[in-house]
Amino acid sequence: MNAPCVFGFHEATFLSLIPPQARDALEHWLDTQKSLNGASENTIKAYSNDTADFIAFMTQYSGESQGLGALGRITTRDMRAWMAATRSTDVGARSLARKLSSVKSFYRWLAEREGFEPTAVLTIRAPKFQKKLPRPLAVDAAKSMIETVEYQTPHAWVAARDSAVITLLYGCGLRISEALGLIGADVPLPETLRIVGKGGKERVVPVLPAAREAVQGYLKICPHPLEPTAPLFRGIRGGALNARAIQDVMAKARMQLGLPATATPHAMRHSFATHLLSAGGDLRSIQELLGHASLSTTQAYTAVDTARLMEVYDRTHPKA
């Protein structure tokens, strides 16, 4: 377990503040989250860092080793002290809420395993923060982005590759990791594609003809051999394409198009959902296409649509 030091501790000191008993419990919980709940590597890393930070702070704050017994005796006052100390390190309300969620998840598991009452931890309220709305591109801007990325490289096959990846993000609502996770065995792309998303959650997404054509166009001129188990999208040297390459090419294209910094690969996925909603798609269907575990996550797109409607209203209403 390799967690960063957020309270000014050197790494060796930081790790020494987590007693073996608590470290073992934390690692057992992380294994459970990964194997039974299908948590992604990024989620596991965040859980590990957040909860290790918490245990290290409590050890320093209480002046005693935070064994399992001590962890079970943490009070509401202790929790508030941790939250205040965390905020003092320039951690924002959103990040603190995420950290608290990690700690609460660990405590639910630990309390059931050790048989103590976790109320002091679980009843602490997360700080309020304004949720950021997705920032989709306009329909014309999304199309222009796909076209413009082709002109960012002198290599025809790289241009076709970049265009194919971004077409998949916009045409199928894929995450960048999902698009880059496709392998040779996935082509030729069928009319529907089975995607394994966050937490191992599976979904089936329709593949538009434009997306299938873009991928086939890339494959025709890709200099690297297509192998069933190898990544579909390749880097210059033939290895797996890094998401950073797509982020960089979109950054160049958006500068040419005069688009904001929010025009990222993930914005293409947001655009897919928002444009579907604007065209009359229902939230439940869009939730399934995006692979959101909760409908509340998808409901953010209704706020985007409403916000855009109000902008138009303010601009055009005769009494505005």
Which tens digit of pLDDT belongs to each residue from 17-38?
677 888 888 899 998 888 877 7
Catalytic residues: 175, 198, 266, 269, 292, 301
Q: What is the pLDDT of residue 278?
A: 66
* 283 or 120: which leads in pLDDT: 120
Q: How confident is the model at residue 66 (pLDDT cuts 50, 70, 90)?
A: low
Q: What is the pLDDT of residue 167?
A: 92
Please, are residues 201 and 194 in contact by the beta-carbon 8 Å criterion? no
- Asked which of 109-123, 139-153, 303-317 is least confident by mean pLDDT, the reply is 303-317
Average pLDDT (241-258) is 93
Q: What is the pLDDT of residue 12?
A: 42
Domains and CATH numbers, the chain: 11-122 (1.10.150), 139-316 (1.10.443.10)
Q: What is the pLDDT of residue 238?
A: 92
Both tokens assigned to 16: 């020494």
Q: How confident is the model at residue 309 (pLDDT cuts 50, 70, 90)?
A: very low
Q: Which H or E run contains 20?
A: helix 20-35
Amino acid at position 18, single letter: I
SS3 label, residue 99? helix
**From the CB of residue 13, how many other CB atoms can be counted at a distance below 10 Å?**
13
Q: What is the pLDDT of residues 76-116, one digit of tens each?
A: 999 999 999 998 888 888 888 899 999 999 999 999 988 88
**Structure-token match 């991928």, residue found:** 215
